[in-house]
Structure 1
Amino acid sequence: MKKFPLVVLMALLLNGCNDDTSEQKEFIDQVKASTTPKVEKIPELIEFEYFAYSAANLRSPFVAPQPEIIQNNLTQVKNCLHPDPQRVRQPLEKYPLDNLAMKGTIGSNGQTWALITATDATLHRVTVGSYLGTYDGRVSQVNSDYIELIELIPDGSGCWKERQTKLEMLEAAIDGAN
């Protein structure tokens, strides 16, 4: 008697596993019969127009020109101050003053040099007359804790103005020397 409910339950479960999909097949057939397939026309192709590129020998707009090229192409206004485009650039002129740091001074025979480090961790020595910075900064004076520069700043009208600037030694450099 205990097996009877189990047999009834098994019969009900097996009845649910019926493979009768005739209703679904009938619905699919009805939908296929009532719809008509519509295929759109293929659009006509537009004929390609050949264009001859004629600017191959001009400067590429995607490559930045060198600063020297720009400066050499500037028209110089007569009777006003401007940097010498023929002057050979010194190594520290490719760095802005913000990327340079004075670390100390050395000297002998009355000549004093300032020790300058750049952001690429290179050490350079400069003296009066040396150039550094991106604005044609010429060293005018070397002191034990700073150097004075005279920079040439464009005024927007084709001329340049002189500006006096200092590059001071950082306090950390003084503490590190002791």
Structure 2
Amino acid sequence: MDEEGQRPQPAQPLPQPPPQGLGQQPPPGLGATPSARPAPPRDGNANAGWLVFTGGVLVILGVFLPWITATGRAGTFSASGKDANEWAFLILGGFATVRGLSMARPQMFRFRLGTPLIGGVILAVLVAMRWSDLQKGLDDLRTLPGVTASVGIGFWAVIAGTVLVLLGGVMAMQRRR
């Protein structure tokens, strides 16, 4: 046996710890800490998934809400994205909704088609193109006597949804630390 303060000889094996029984736990700080329930595997950032999901829902809802509203002597007129055949927004909003839900709740189902960032960029390009068309339409309506026109709540919902999809896409691309 070694005395305290004396180094063991290289030929002598180090003493082995006593075997652990079923009911014994290693001393604190040594070994794995048992958990009441194991953590589920995560495929990404759940917050990013919820942002993408919410953005997709806003885009879909925005298509059905008024995009342009005009008021004149004859009454009030409004047109939605559905009236303008904006199916690309519906499709991309649907993809964002499903992809966001699969990112936030990967144990429910998996949907790997595309990344939210690419879908968000496509949405942003479509929003920019449509914004230009809406402004031209508003200018045309405002030239009529007694008519006031404005961008409706639906288009603002599509813009907000697009921003959320883009933010969620950027967050999903960042590595978890």
TM band (smaller chain):
under 0.3
Structure with more relative contact order (C-alpha pairs < 8 Å, separation 6 or more):
2
After TM superposition, the score normalised by the length of structure 1 is: 0.23
More strand per residue:
1
After TM superposition, the score normalised by the length of structure 2 is: 0.23
More helix per residue:
2
